[in-house]
């Protein structure tokens, strides 16, 4: 099962095993990771699942849809080039070791 590290703004880390086919958002929510709100439950209508993907893994992420790009305009924290909606990141075996950074705020 791929291991994903969620890094909080204070530098603390939560390392979780997230099943293939689950989203990075769902992995966080199911394990009560603070910092992912996911108000819309993954329907791409809230942007409260914003994460910044570690640069080393950006190329392993699925392509952004136009809808995701549009929704990323509404993140509460600064949008960066490596910002993604974690509900759109479906876990694959290639994502093992993925590191994502949680933003200051989601709302």
| Residue closest to ligand FES when measured from CB atoms | 87
Determine the Cα–Cα distance for residues 17 and 3; give it in Å rounded to an integer: 4
**Helix boundaries (H) for 1-107:** 24-30, 66-71
- CB 71 → ligand FES: shortest distance, Å? 6
40 binding ligand FES? (CB under 6 A)? yes
Token reading at 27:
């992995």
**Residue 49 or 100: which CB sits closer to ligand FES?**
49
Only one of the segments 1-9, 39-47, 52-60, 96-104 lies at the binding site for ligand FES (rule: CB under 6 A); that segment is: 39-47
In this chain, which of 16, 33, 44, 76 binds ligand FES, going by CB under 6 A?
A: 44
**Which sign, positive or negative, has the C-alpha torsion 74, 76, 77, 83?**
negative
């Amino acid at each position: 099962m791929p291991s994903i590290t969620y890094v909080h703004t204070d530098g603390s880390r939560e390392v979780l095993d997230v099943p293939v086919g689950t989203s990075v958002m769902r992995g966080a929510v199911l394990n009560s990771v603070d910092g992912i709100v996911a108000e819309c439950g993954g329907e791409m209508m809230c942007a409260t699942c914003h994460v910044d993907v570690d640069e080393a893994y950006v190329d392993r992420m699925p392509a952004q849809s136009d809808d995701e790009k549009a929704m990323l305009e509404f993140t509460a924290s600064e949008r960066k080039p490596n910002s993604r909606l974690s509900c759109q990141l479906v876990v694959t075996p290639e994502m093992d070791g993925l590191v994502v950074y949680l933003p200051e705020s989601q709302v």
